[in-house]
Amino acid sequence: MQIVTFTQLRNHAKKYFDAVERGESIEIYRKGKPIAVLSPLRRGGVQRWKTARPIQIHGASLTDALLAERDERG
């Protein structure tokens, strides 16, 4: 398991996510204390994120609804 600081993860995210995709786990520290473990999903076949579909919401867009509410208020 790799140990990295939050700053290292933020600055080199691709490198660490690639490592996780290869099966490695990463322990993340902030101010000298462990705050999280980044680990691969252990589900058979293709990783879930590669097959996920985008969320679709039917009806008015959120932007349109917010603009309409602003107009009503004044």
pLDDT reported for residue 35: 95
| Cβ-based neighbour number of residue 4 at 10 Å | 18
CATH assignment of 1-41?
Answer: 3.40.1620.10
pLDDT reported for residue 66: 84
Nearest 5°: the CA angle 22, 24, 49 is 55
Q: Between these two residues, 45 and 72, which has the higher pLDDT value?
A: 72
| pLDDT single digits (tens) 2-55 | 999 999 999 999 999 999 999 999 999 999 999 999 998 876 655 566 667 776
Check: pTM over 0.75? Answer yes or no.
Answer: no
8, 15 contact by CB (below 8 A):
no
Compute and round to an integer the Cα radius of gyration of the chain: 20
Q: Which CB contacts under 8 angstroms, 24+ apart, belong to 28-37?
A: 28/4, 29/3, 29/4, 29/5, 30/5, 30/6, 35/6, 37/1
Domain boundaries, the chain: 1-41
pLDDT reported for residue 63: 83
pLDDT reported for residue 45: 56
